[in-house]
Amino acid sequence: MRSTAGRHDRRISPVFLGIAAVTAVAGWAVWTGFAGSTGFAVFLFVTGGWVVSLCLHEYAHARTALHSGDISVGAKGYLTLNPLKYTHALLSIVLPVLFVIMGGIGLPGGAAFIERGRIRGRRRHSLISAAGPLTNVLFAVVCTAPFWLDALDGVPVPFRYALAFLALLQVTAAILNSVPVPGLDGYGVIEPWLPYGIRRQVEPFAPFGLIAVFAVLWIPEVNGAFFDAIDAVLRGLGVSEFETYCGLDAYRFWQELTGGDDTRCTVGAVVYTGR
């Protein structure tokens, strides 16, 4: 008899609900200016929103896999949105958050283990891999909606900056994860269509694909071209480089506390002090 994921396997985890609640409260604090330190509220809001997007990214992989034939994802806990259920919590949650804190870049995670042998059809395999980055794209569209809808009237400047920076993280994650390098979702999309011999040859390099991508990003010319592309995408969504930069400055609230700031982001009467 064909088993399916039960209701318990699909019940939203209290861990995810707690993260979402912290994000919502922090967003309210940023919007109203309730917090004593708006920068700290921005930090909590963006970090919480980023973790929520990581959970949704993995959920999209798992949900698509479930409908494609891998009924094991329910028993693994992937459908509960609980980040602690991922195969590699370090790669999916810890490292992406650390990269945001240190570098202001959306590191793509990847930890939902899909039993590919249960799935038939190359299109299904490709769709499962594409589901994650598409979730980041959707998240970016939602974050930037006030910008491209020209609906910023009444949106507090701190909240606007926070949304801009959160959108930048989603765009960087979507683009980086779409690179056709073994170990990333972009390669997962094209892998089913490659000859078997090529797949066998590149398979050993999958664990190092993400490291290779970031090593290449250290090349100044590549780094500049990459962020030029990010800025172009965000401009198309109505978000300026100034707004994303000020969002990053507000996010790094600790720089103001340590006196390490030397630039200012100013809109109207609102001043943010950043790096």
Kindly list the catalytic residues. Answer: 58
- Look up residue 248 and give its two tokens: 């990053």
Q: Phi-psi category of 104—alpha, beta or left, where left has phi over 0 and alpha has psi -120 to 50?
A: left
The CA-based dihedral angle spanning residues 48, 54, 60, 62, taken in that order and rounded to the nearest 10 degrees = -120
- How far is residue 97 from each of residues 49, 85, 246, 260, measured CA to CA in Å? 11, 17, 19, 22
Instruction: Tell me the HSE value of 119 on the side-chain side, using a 13 A CA sphere.
Output: 25
DSSP string, 72-128: GGTTTTGGGT-GGGSTTHIIIIIHHHHHHHHH------------GGG---HHHHHHH
Looking at the DSSP bridge assignments, the partners of residue 25 are none
180 φ, ψ (degrees, to nearest 5): -75, 60
In what helix (H) or strand (E) does residue 267 lie, and over which residues does it extend? Answer: strand 263-267
Instruction: Tell me the HSE value of 160 on the side-chain side, using a 13 A CA sphere.
Output: 22
Please tell me whether residue 266 adopts helix, strand or coil conformation.
strand
Q: What is the CA radius of gyration of the chain?
A: 20
Please tell me whether residue 170 adopts helix, strand or coil conformation.
helix
- Look up residue 254 and give its two tokens: 């600790």
